[in-house]
Structure 1
Amino acid sequence: MASSLEDDVFEKLKTKADIDELERREKEINARVHAQYEKSQQRVAELLGANSTLPVTISSIRVLHANNTRRTFLERIFEPLLGANKDRPYTLEGALKDVSAATDKLNKFDIFKSPISVFIDRTDPADPSTTPTDINVYLSAQEKSRYTIKTGTEAGNAEGSAYASAVLRNVFGGAETLQAYGSLGTRTRSSYSASFDTPILSDPGLHFEVGGAGSSTLKPWASHEEFLRGGSARLKWTSPSGQHRHDLAYSGSWRQITGLASTASPTVRADAGDSFKASLAHTYALDRRDYPLLPSRGYYLRSTTELAGVGPLGGDVGFAKLDVESQAAAPLPAGAALTAGLRGGLLYPLAVGRWNPAAGHPEPSRLPDRFQLGGPTDVRGFRLSGLGPRDGPDAVGGDVYAAAGASLLLPFPRVGAAAPLRFQAFVNGGRLLALQPPPGGKPDGGAPLTGGDVARGVKAALRELRDGGLPSCAAGVGIVYAHPAARFEVNFSLPLVLRRGEEARKGVSFGIGASFL
């Protein structure tokens, strides 16, 4: 019977004319539905406009289908609406604005499917406990799946990996999230992490998170492998507009430099072994770009300040570290755009357990804490960690750096400015410097460093950064594709200025990431 029915259907649709006729009818029906929807929306707007000043009282708010969400969690969001009409006149327009704001707040927790439907109805006039101005608010909020499991592969920056991740949503009914992630790769041999995140007082912009992570990473540019194990607790705050973000974190991590190559330099061998870092860090970000991965207008600012080993923080590593990044974009005619970026950082060694920077004996910075510069996502035209101090074959990083870049982004012909594909012409450069110890001071085996030695070393490095001539720089052209998850670049680079010992990369390179210079 089923086979006969299928034969009849295919018989009726066997000619192109029949198929075209069906498509035409489908378009007509869709157009009619759309017109009716627009008409109904217009009618709703007219009714609301005519009744916007009517006095109302919100009698009750009910969230439907939220079977796994705690009542107390929802009450913190909607309780202000129930008390809003007790101390001031309340109109239908004001009630709708407040309900819409509360619904948007509920959406930000990412535990309900979008959109959340809102219905308003009069109370039963036969109920003696109600008044003529009472209204009931109903929200139809379909909960998302409580778990998501993903597996896949990733590639980029001369590395490939396979990963698996799992997310549990709304764990205890208050928009809590439990995440676990693990990956195996070519350079990052293994990486795993787990974290638990919960909003504070039902506020989508205020979160507390605890977590742990571990990794094993090959660092061929410095002839070693680094093991990392640690945990953190952080407080995250986001402004209502979503543009200002703060992250305050306390973390402790055990690092081990091992697996040294036979050609490892004395600097790498001196830092081999274990170290423990305990630090307090604050990150601030302001993003006003129209599209962060491929901006055409706006600006971006980010700063990260970290304090390690000072006072009661503990550990055996002490320093203050500042890392800043900025980007600005301006539109040009015909869909083109000009972007410019600037980055810089300073690592200031401190004595462990001391609050006074001038007291005690600071230790020189360690390899895992120093800045690295060069590669397809920062200073293009140079190998990964190809800029800055070197000891033999190894890039050993630096304590002070500055980098800048500018890119002209042009839409492809016949593709249009709306497509996330651009032709790029760029120029970028930077310098990375190490603090030089005084004659006879560490790490040459002489007298220990003092706070004054570090201060003089920082001043000398900043002076060299300013007056030391042209930075290492390169120019090139390439193709940029902004996928929703990451930005991809294929560039041809030509080094223009190269300092002794640094490693340039002339030719084609591939970069993938979320942040580019």
Structure 2
Amino acid sequence: MARSWSLEGSLKLKNLFGYGDIWDASGAYGWDQTSEVGIGMSLPRFKSIPTPLMARVSLSSQDWLKFSSYKERLLGLSFGLLSTMQHDLSYNLTWRTLTDPSHVSSKSIRRQLGHNILSALKYTYKIDRRNSHLRPTKGYTFLSTTQIGGLWDSKGLKFFRQEFDVRGAVPLGFYNTALNVGLGVGAILPLGRGFMNLSSPVPDRFYLGGHSSPVCSLSGLSSLLGFRTRGIGPTEPQRLVPSKSDDRSTAPQGRDYLGGDLAVSAFADLSFDLPLKLFRDAGIHGHAFVTAGNLAKLSEGEYKKFSLSEFRRTFRSSAGVGIILPTKLFRVEVNYCYILKQSEHDSGKTGIQFSFSSPL
């Protein structure tokens, strides 16, 4: 049985200094040894400045040793440059540290271990016409996210990243039933002379899997329930680095999940009220879902081997049913996931999956 869970929480404080300022603190911890804390500030209007002012600092630590031979720590600063109902422009500065405590690393990852700075400009365009972002029963939404990395740092990671996400919800007219469908597409390309033969930064590639709700997580590519975070290939065998005590190296003990330069994901989710009035009054409801997605590597000349028919044939997929329990403190989702299709080295298992997320 596959059991995984995550715990997320957030806190908001308003008008502490009398400028309509909004302060928020958030934290998240996952069973896959990922943690993140962040503090943000927003001024909807400050003196004669026409656009809201926003700033956020975050620290995250992610242990990917089950899927790749490195640990990652990120210290990030984000500044909002423009924010309206549909447009958002921000500048992000991130100090990234990659460590290899197991002395195991693949050729692709070993080239990028160490410290680096990610200086990126990020633009988001969003249209959201849904009646709810937690349980949509009608409406549609569209999200486009464009990110350019390494603009002002000659030694930083240089890449172009684009994501599209489109969702729709249709009411079916009984038991408050609604069908939600979504499609996400993303691509990342390294920047520079001969860019198609360069390597895209491994930590910034697309990864599929995870346990967050595909209906609520409007952020480009959706989760593939039933698969571990970063639990879908492409992969390559880990290579052992000779130890300091001798020059011997043992056989590879795992595989590195290298992510993709092209990613596609889709889902269909049918939500419905449960028969008991007690459940309906508490907002507790059920859902049935199908998720699918796939990744492909295009950089380092791999685009020459790309085949659309092979990409369609190797799509991973899962299906299941679950119960969602919303509370004032957190949102609990308990799902039974059944793996319909996976590749040889994917990390997906049929079983129960838990998710704890913010109700906001």
Task: Tell me how far 1:179 sits from its aligned partner.
Answer: 5.1
Contact 1:294–1:482 (CA under 8 A) maintained in structure 2: no
1:233 paired residue among 72, 79, 95 = 79
CA–CA separation in structure 1 for the residues paired with 2:89 and 2:191: 21
Task: Tell me how far 1:328 sits from its aligned partner.
Answer: 1.0
Q: Spell out, residue by residue over 1:301-323, the C-alpha distance to the aligned partner (whole angstroms, 9 max, x if none).
A: 2221001124x454421111011
Match of 1:198 in 2: 43
Contact 1:278–1:314 (CA under 8 A) maintained in structure 2: no
Task: Tell me how far 1:423 sits from its aligned partner.
Answer: 2.0
Tell me the SS of whatever aligns to 2:109: helix
Task: Tell me how far 1:299 sits from its aligned partner.
Answer: 1.3
Tell me the SS of whatever aligns to 2:203: helix
Task: Tell me how far 1:484 sits from its aligned partner.
Answer: 5.4
TM-score by length of 1: 0.56
2:288 aligned with 1:425: yes
TM-score by length of 2: 0.78
1:325 paired residue among 134, 153, 165 = 165
Once the two structures are superposed, the pairs formed by residues 220-369 of structure 1 within 5 Å of their partners are 220=65, 221-239=67-85, 244=86, 246-310=87-151, 312=152, 314-334=154-174, 335-351=176-192, 363-369=198-204
CA–CA separation in structure 1 for the residues paired with 2:47 and 2:312: 53
Change in 2 beyond 3 A, CA 1:513/1:180? closer
Match of 2:340 in 1: 496
Task: Tell me how far 1:223 sits from its aligned partner.
Answer: 3.3
Task: Tell me how far 1:496 sits from its aligned partner.
Answer: 1.5
Match of 2:243 in 1: none
Once the two structures are superposed, the pairs formed by residues 18-417 of structure 1 within 5 Å of their partners are 158-159=5-6, 167=13, 169-171=15-17, 173-177=18-22, 191-200=36-45, 206-220=51-65, 221-239=67-85, 244=86, 246-310=87-151, 312=152, 314-334=154-174, 335-351=176-192, 363-377=198-212, 378-392=223-237, 393-415=255-277
CA–CA separation in structure 2 for the residues paired with 1:190 and 1:177: 24
Change in 2 beyond 3 A, CA 1:482/1:344? farther
CA–CA separation in structure 2 for the residues paired with 1:215 and 1:296: 34
Tell me the SS of whatever aligns to 1:317: coil
Tell me the SS of whatever aligns to 1:368: helix
Change in 2 beyond 3 A, CA 1:466/1:170? farther
CA–CA separation in structure 2 for the residues paired with 1:332 and 1:496: 26
CA–CA separation in structure 2 for the residues paired with 1:379 and 1:399: 18
Of 200-209 and 495-504, deviating more is: 200-209
CA–CA separation in structure 1 for the residues paired with 2:48 and 2:355: 37
User: What is the letter of the counterpart of residue 323 of structure 1?
Assistant: E
Contact 1:431–1:465 (CA under 8 A) maintained in structure 2: no
Tell me the SS of whatever aligns to 1:501: coil
Q: Which has the higher helix share?
A: 1
CA–CA separation in structure 2 for the residues paired with 1:203 and 1:338: 45
Contact 2:10–2:358 (CA under 8 A) maintained in structure 1: no
Contact 1:277–1:315 (CA under 8 A) maintained in structure 2: no
CA–CA separation in structure 2 for the residues paired with 1:385 and 1:483: 29
Tell me the SS of whatever aligns to 2:206: coil
User: What is the letter of the counterpart of residue 432 of structure 1?
Assistant: L
Q: Spell out, residue by residue over 1:89-134, the C-alpha distance to the aligned partner (whole angstroms, 9 max, x if none).
A: xxxxxxxxxxxxxxxxxxxxxxxxxxxxxxxxxxxxxxxxxxxxxx
Give 5+ residue unaligned stretches, structure 1.
1-155, 352-357, 439-456
Match of 2:250 in 1: none
Change in 2 beyond 3 A, CA 1:465/1:417? farther
User: What is the letter of the counterpart of residue 230 of structure 2?
Assistant: S
Tell me the SS of whatever aligns to 1:431: strand
Contact 1:387–1:503 (CA under 8 A) maintained in structure 2: yes
Task: Tell me how far 1:514 sits from its aligned partner.
Answer: 6.5
Contact 2:34–2:60 (CA under 8 A) maintained in structure 1: yes
Q: Which has the higher strand share?
A: 2
RMSD, aligned α-carbons: 3.3
Task: Tell me how far 1:212 sits from its aligned partner.
Answer: 2.9
Identity %: 28
CA–CA separation in structure 1 for the residues paired with 2:12 and 2:178: 38
Match of 1:100 in 2: none
Contact 1:373–1:384 (CA under 8 A) maintained in structure 2: yes
Q: Spell out, residue by residue over 1:387-440, the C-alpha distance to the aligned partner (whole angstroms, 9 max, x if none).
A: 1211233322111100111112221112365542222221111101112523xx
Contact 1:410–1:423 (CA under 8 A) maintained in structure 2: yes
Change in 2 beyond 3 A, CA 1:325/1:486? farther
Match of 1:434 in 2: 297
Q: Of the two, which has the highest radius of gyration?
A: 1
Which structure has more relative contact order (CA 8 Å, sep 6+)? It is 2
Of 487-496 and 289-298, deviating more is: 487-496
Change in 2 beyond 3 A, CA 1:468/1:329? closer
- Give the total of aligned pairs: 327
Contact 1:375–1:384 (CA under 8 A) maintained in structure 2: yes
CA–CA separation in structure 1 for the residues paired with 2:159 and 2:139: 34
